Structure 1
Amino acid sequence: MRWTNIGITTTKEAPVEAELISHQLLLRAAYIKKMSQGIFVYGHLALRVIRNLENIIRQELDKANAVEISMPMVQSADLWKSTGRWDKMGDTMLRFKNRTQQEFCLGPTHEEVVTEYIKPFIKSYKNLPLNFYQIQTKYRDEIRPRFGLMRGREFIMKDGYSFDTSAESAQKSYDSMYKVYQNIFNRLGVSYRIVQADTGDIGGNQSHEFHLLAESGEDILLVSDTSDFAANSEICKTLSFLEKQNFAKSEDKDKESKKDLTKLDQKLLSTPNIKSIKDLSKFLNLKKDKLVKTLFFNIKTTQVEKKEVKQNIEKIVVLVRGDHDINTYKLKNFFKALEVSLLTEEEVIALTGANPGSCGPINLKEKIKIYADFSIEKMINYTVGANKNDYHIQNVNNSDFICEGFFDFRLAVAGDLSPDGKGRLVEYKGIEAGHIFYLGTTYSKKLKAEFLDSNGKTCPVEMGCYGLGVSRLVQAIVEQSHDENGIIWPMILAPYKVHICLLDPKDEEISKLCDDIYKDLISKGVSVLLDDRKERPGFKFKDADLLGMPLRLTFGARSLKEGGVELVERKTQEKQLIKLNEVVETILKKVKQ
């Protein structure tokens, strides 16, 4: 392809809203163009990268006997209502009505559609297992689209779905897709981690995420420094006192048994203008692990009464040690909640008579259930708010108030004991590119996707679903593979393997030599971008580095006088002079490496 046929123009500067370097580079190199918030045009170069990635995905899925289909992007509300997700998805889903006032949405995912689709095909256990996938544009009405393709509203996604007769068979399908994803990421040559993950709005009881490691990643990954344990911080378990004791060494158990457990008399302390744990720690000259946070949450749940779905909101108190934070994902899962949110300052004052910074579990104005995190399970003589502005109570103990129990509610952090008892947790940052779920019968029961087993018994089909963010993965790779000059594409993904810089298009002799090699490479299956613009050499070289093709060939009078053309490898910037009669052979070898 000749540059003059593509019709792109690069820029030196990126728009100010482009925070990530990958977003900046894709905009500057004209791979993408923003049309509105979270919606982009994929230019010629970006589309070639996407197609290369899709080919890799298809190749690996075909090996695993997955079958490609295409499902509608526009979906009926009736399907989503039958699984309860029409309300559960909230404003994330873009909804609309047609001219007859029927409700629809733009598909953010396709569990309902694919389950309805396969129902006629699975009348018998003999028809299973099945595995379908598609690569399609999806839409989620992201409240704050940002970071380019990382968190857009419209995006390209590969979503797959497996159907099996039993939990054992479904686990095999899940493991097979796990391996497929490993193969895809290994072929891409990226640095990645697989972690245990939250099932979120998709549902199910087993889930793994595939993250590209990057300092700009929004997800915190916690990995054992000793074992294979790895989890997203959203779901990473923290251990109870008993679990820690089971894993503890004998000398650590001895230390714990020798702790002074004497309960001291409570003291009411004046703490003027103290609004936070940090301020309280400094004012009292106490470490944060001697303080306890009191937090108030609204827990929104649903229940079905006489075939009507009703919402219920319960106010609760959650206690956690002062040096830790509550994990709202854990709260949501524990209470099977639609939504979890902190009470407003006004609501807290109404419940306690005090501002949030002076609240505690003792003498609450209203009857409200109190839950505690494992972190305060064995604490003694700690400090909490007094439910009186500018006052705290010292030497409070768990016996001083009624508590529903101790649970895993806090965020796990680096340095915690690994949940498997082996080593300590280390923190990484990641960009989620793939997510797989073992759904079980979550959808099949609600949609009556059933089959007859070998005994003639009607059974719901066991399901799994497998997502891979295609457009997001493209940008994530740029985030991981770039330098100060531009993008560095891996050979397997690059829009073109070779970028030819013709320095003087007016020189007929040089132009003919260049054109002959250009055509020869194409005839041998090598994709080539020929920069035939009438621009300065330095300008062309900068654009070549910005676009990031793996190999650059330079046709100019200087190198030809020296007996060949210059070959530069984008990743290493290594240069070498190649004889004209060896150019094609050299390129073919490098492309196949």
Structure 2
Amino acid sequence: MKASHFLISTLKEAPADAEIVSHQLMTRAGMIKKLGAGVYSYMPMGLRVIRKVEAIVREEMNRAGAIEVTMPVVQPAEAWQETGRFNKMGPELLRFQDRHGRDFVIQPTSEEVVTDIARQEFKSYKQLPKNLYQIQTKFRDERRPRFGLMRGREFTMKDAYSFDKDRDSAQASYQTMRDAYQRIFDRFGLQYRAVRADSGAIGGDLSEEFQVIAATGEDAIVYCPNSDYAANIEKAESLAPAGPRPAASEALEKIATPGNSTCQAVADQLGLPLARTIKSLVLATDEVNEAGEIVKTQVWLLLLRGDHDMNEVKVNKVDGLANFRFASLAEIQDHFGCEPGYLGPLNLQKPVKLVVDREVAVMADWICGANEKDFHIRGVNFGRDLPEPALVADLRNVVAGDPSPDGQGPLAIERGIEIGHVFYLGTKYSEAMNATFLADNGKPTHFEMGCYGIGITRLPAAAIEQNHDERGIIWPDAIAPFTVVLCPIGMDRSELVKQAAEKLYADLLALGVDVILDDRGERPGAMFADWELIGVPHRVVLGDRGLKEGLVEYQHRRDAAATPVPLADVVAQLKTRLGL
């Protein structure tokens, strides 16, 4: 490719709404252009990256035995109604009606459609296992799209779905896909971790995320440096403290805490560690009738240590707390007789259902709100001042230093960006849609399924978050828009430079190198700045003075300075650097 025949549209400044590095650099490098909130056009430079990502994913999926299909972006609602997700999914699922008043959705994922294909096509266990995948446009109506391609509304995803005759076979298919994902991400040249994860709205009981390690990542990754344990923050287990609860040593005492409505403020006033305080979180669950009307509301009180944060995913799995919401101010005042900031489990106006975090269950002499404005109570103990808690659960996020669930040492936390997710679904969708095959015993049996996704358009953004500097992007070779850029200085003025550049360009093309020749006639400073911003990993500069000495300059994007290389040797050196 010659730059004069390509579209290069770099910018000196990023748009004001570009909050993170990848959004800023992809816009400045002319890779994406915003059309609307969370919706982008992929410009030629960015599309080359995406196509390389797709090619690697497609190669490894085919190698793993998956079969490519394409499913519609616009899907009739009937299948989604079969599984119940048409109503259960929130506003992220974009619903609309056609001119005949029939309901449709724009797919965020395709479990329903692929299950419908399976129940029509796979009649016998002899046809299994099968894995169908697509690389296709998706749409999720994010309430607040942001961060460019990291959290857009329209995006491209590779989603694959396995169908097996039994659980053991499904587990084998899951492992095959997990291995394929490791090969894919290894080929991308990114630093990543595979971590245990919650399955979320898709469902399933075995789930792992692939996370690119980046300081700007939205996700917290919990891992043990001494073992292979790794999980995302939603999934990481907080172990119950070892040993029995200490005996009570303080008398119950009501203390004035005027204006101190936070655990930290109370701890500071009393000169005690924050870990001695308890925070009270009030939730509610609603029971509804067939018409969707609320017929009963249960108010819950969760107790966590003052220095810990509630984990909503874990709380949602506590028996009775599925689909919880935070209680309204009116509900809080009705049950506690007090405003938030001074709440606690003593002196309630109305009974609530109490859930206690594992850590709190073994604490003694703790401090909580008195259910009276400007007052707290210290010296609170279970068994003396309160009944022993009937419901104890893991409710909190782990923190660095907590013991690893595998017993191999303390946990550490780093930031990551999710780029892939593998799920074992079981029969969640096949049962909902009555998708069966004839097993070897001649009986109809529901498919055991798995689901496997990779964020195709999110991955370049994640790669940039991990690979950039003050000058711009630093692409790994495998997904760079071009692998090598040739920068001839004064090509329009020097026949020597022009001939050398054209020959080197032809030689590299003949070797199959993805090379671009910058023949635009730009000044050296502007030309170098463009390619450093765009992030092409290998650069060769050809100048009249150097060529007269038989030399060119080679510089990797990460190198601090260029290295003189004999023109006669540069192709061989590039072959070595590129692994050809």
| Residue matched to 1:462 | 448
| Residue matched to 2:76 | 76
Question: Are 2:449 and 1:442 equivalent residues in the alignment?
Answer: no
Q: C-alpha offsets along residues 508-541 of structure 1, whole Å, 9 cap, x if unaligned?
A: 5122332232233223322221211232111111
Structure 1: distance between partners of 2:310 and 2:276: 17
- Deviation of residue 40 (structure 1)? 1.0
Q: Which of the residues 397, 402, 425 maps onto 1:416?
A: 402
Structure 2: distance between partners of 1:14 and 1:301: 49
Alpha carbons 1:556, 1:565 under 8 Å: kept? yes
| Residue matched to 1:360 | 344
Question: Are 2:333 and 1:349 equivalent residues in the alignment?
Answer: yes
Deviates more, 1:9-18 or 1:394-403: 394-403
Structure 2: distance between partners of 1:484 and 1:539: 16
Alpha carbons 2:278, 2:304 under 8 Å: kept? yes
Q: Equivalences for 1:380-391 in 2 at 5 Å?
A: 380-391=364-375
Paired residue secondary structure (1:468): strand
Q: Which of the residues 556, 569, 592 maps onto 2:543?
A: 556
Q: Which of the residues 243, 246, 256 maps onto 1:270?
A: 256
Question: Are 2:563 and 1:584 equivalent residues in the alignment?
Answer: no
Alpha carbons 2:494, 2:544 under 8 Å: kept? no
Paired residue secondary structure (1:334): coil
Alpha carbons 1:121, 1:127 under 8 Å: kept? no
Q: C-alpha offsets along residues 142-167 of structure 1, whole Å, 9 cap, x if unaligned?
A: 11111111111111111111011111
Q: Which of the residues 508, 516, 541 maps onto 1:529?
A: 516
Structure 1: distance between partners of 2:320 and 2:175: 27
Structure 1: distance between partners of 2:508 and 2:251: 85
Paired residue secondary structure (1:171): helix
Structure 1: distance between partners of 2:520 and 2:316: 58
Deviates more, 1:390-399 or 1:172-181: 390-399
The one-letter amino acid of 2:16's match is: V
Q: C-alpha offsets along residues 543-582 of structure 1, whole Å, 9 cap, x if unaligned?
A: 1211111211222212112213222222224533344444
Alpha carbons 1:233, 1:413 under 8 Å: kept? no
| Residue matched to 1:571 | 558
Q: Which of the residues 369, 379, 401 maps onto 1:395?
A: 379
| Residue matched to 1:452 | 438
- Deviation of residue 342 (structure 1)? 2.1
The two structures have a TM-score, normalised by structure 2, of 0.95
- Deviation of residue 472 (structure 1)? 0.8
Task: Note the aligned Cα RMSD (angstroms).
Answer: 2.0
Alpha carbons 1:299, 1:335 under 8 Å: kept? no
Q: Equivalences for 1:25-44 in 2 at 5 Å?
A: 25-44=25-44
| Residue matched to 2:526 | 539
The two structures have a TM-score, normalised by structure 1, of 0.93
Q: Equivalences for 1:291-330 in 2 at 5 Å?
A: 291-299=277-285, 313-330=297-314
Q: Equivalences for 1:57-456 in 2 at 5 Å?
A: 57-241=57-241, 244-245=242-243, 259=246, 261-262=247-248, 264-299=250-285, 313-335=297-319, 339-399=323-383, 400-402=385-387, 403-456=389-442
The one-letter amino acid of 1:344's match is: S
Deviates more, 1:464-473 or 1:120-129: 120-129
For this pair of structures, how many residues does the alignment match? 576
Alpha carbons 2:48, 2:481 under 8 Å: kept? yes
Structure 2: distance between partners of 1:169 and 1:2: 50
- Deviation of residue 389 (structure 1)? 1.2
The one-letter amino acid of 1:93's match is: L
Paired residue secondary structure (1:492): helix
Q: Equivalences for 1:459-538 in 2 at 5 Å?
A: 459-507=445-493, 509=495, 510-538=497-525
Structure 2: distance between partners of 1:539 and 1:427: 41
Alpha carbons 1:381, 1:396 under 8 Å: kept? yes
- Deviation of residue 339 (structure 1)? 3.2
The one-letter amino acid of 1:515's match is: E
Cα gap change, 1:462 to 1:337, in 2 (>3 Å): farther
Deviates more, 1:440-449 or 1:318-327: 318-327
Structure 2: distance between partners of 1:345 and 1:282: 27
Deviates more, 1:513-522 or 1:358-367: 513-522
- Deviation of residue 444 (structure 1)? 0.6
Alpha carbons 1:137, 1:154 under 8 Å: kept? yes
| Residue matched to 1:253 | none
Cα gap change, 1:271 to 1:203, in 2 (>3 Å): same
| Residue matched to 2:3 | 3
